[in-house]
Amino acid sequence: MTVRLWGPGVAVPVVGAAPATTIALVRHGETDWNRERRIQGATDIPMNDRGRAQSRATAERLAGGCWDAVVTSPLSRSAETATIIADRLGLAEPDLLPALAERRHGTLEGLTTAERRRLEAEAVPIEGLESRVSVVSRAVPALLWLATRHPGGAVVAVTHGGVIQSVLLHLWERASLPSGSVTNGSVHELRVSASGLELVASDAVAPVEATGS
């Protein structure tokens, strides 16, 4: 099944013939709700100490590259991760990029994944749940915009599991990924060039694995 996640009428920045830009999508460090397997969405849950350790480990991993800037979702768990990374890379304070905020989950927020499955099995209406198409329609143009700001450069973009999953599904043209494939502190390298947005490397499962083959 091929699913192209894209919204109609979305204005996409034109990269043109500018040099390729590297963007590292990073998921924030763990929160207590992550540990409890609760759905966070737009609820602003802070990182815990394990999440800070994960963020420092990711920063060390990225320290081997040459980065120009760090941007982040405005939610505190992402912003703190971005600050830890920017400090380690010797870069300026991260800029906030609202389009990278987590997918809104409406009435699901605060529930455990088991509670969510029970509601879905009962076909209970879920108010306020943002579609993946909506997430892609704001996140992808924001990533292309970053490339116009840093042509030929490299940017770390700290965001959330729901955003990263939506972007990966869009690029891989998949309907779903296995649960837990985008872990806290994971890195997913993208390249933006005249040919568009492409995935270079990812800590998540490979596309063929996502099929269950």
Residues contacting 127, CB < 8 A, separation 6+ = 106, 107
**Residues catalogued as catalytic:** 28, 102
Domain locations along the chain: 21-104+131-210
Q: Are 100 and 71 in contact (CB under 8 A)?
A: yes
Low-confidence ranges of the chain (pLDDT < 50): 1-11, 207-213
Question: How far apart are alpha carbons 87 and 204 in whole angstroms?
Answer: 26
Q: What was the pLDDT predicted at 151?
A: 96
> What is the per-residue burial (b if ≥16 Cβ within 10 Å, else e) of 172-198?
bebeebeeebbebbbbbbbbbbeeebe
21-104+131-210 CATH fold: Rossmann fold (3.40.50)
Decide: 212 and 176 in contact? Cβ < 8 Å: no
Task: Count CA atoms closer than 13 A to 83's CA, side-chain side.
Answer: 10
Three-state DSSP class for 199? strand
